[in-house]
Amino acid sequence: TEVELKEKKHRVEDALQATRAAVEEGIVSGGGVAFVNALSALDKVLEGYDGASDERTGVSILKRALEEPLRRIAVNAGLEGSVIVEEVKKRKVGEGFDAAKGEYVNMVEQGIIDPLKVTRSALENAASIATMIMTTETLVTELPEKEKAGAAPPMPEY
């Protein structure tokens, strides 16, 4: 059908863009593993700060955010995300969870990769948005409307 044809065309275009990005800057382990592997670098950043500071709080928030892609993949596979994240943290760099097979593998060897450019850009853009929200000290959102209570059932006739 036409819809399927358009979807295939978009997939090919996405694959082409991802390939171009990978050629430009290289690849990293996919499935959120590159972000989890970056957590150890943030632990080193924390070594320079004592006690409770804004920087320490910011790094803690960033660490939680970096775990989220892998956590979401695990939840979507019907598993407990926190358990999967903790297991990947214990493993060698580059090893992660293959949700399709339900096992831990070397992500690059299995072809589960992300272009470095895309991964880096996603992190930079998220940090930029977070910085903007924090500096403006205001965020406008759309609140969901509360569902109105349904009408009472009619009185029974006696």
- Mean pLDDT of the 93-102 span: 93
Lookup result for tokens 């470095």: 116
Domain 2-136 listed as CATH 1.10.560.10: yes
User: In this model, does residue 158 exceed pLDDT 70?
Assistant: no
Q: What is the pTM of this model?
A: 0.74
H or E stretch including 104? strand 103-106
Helix/strand/coil for 97: strand
Q: Domain locations in the chain? A: 2-136
* Mean pLDDT to the nearest integer, 111-135: 85
Q: What is the pLDDT of residues 33-66, one digit of tens each?
A: 999 999 888 888 777 777 677 777 888 888 888 9
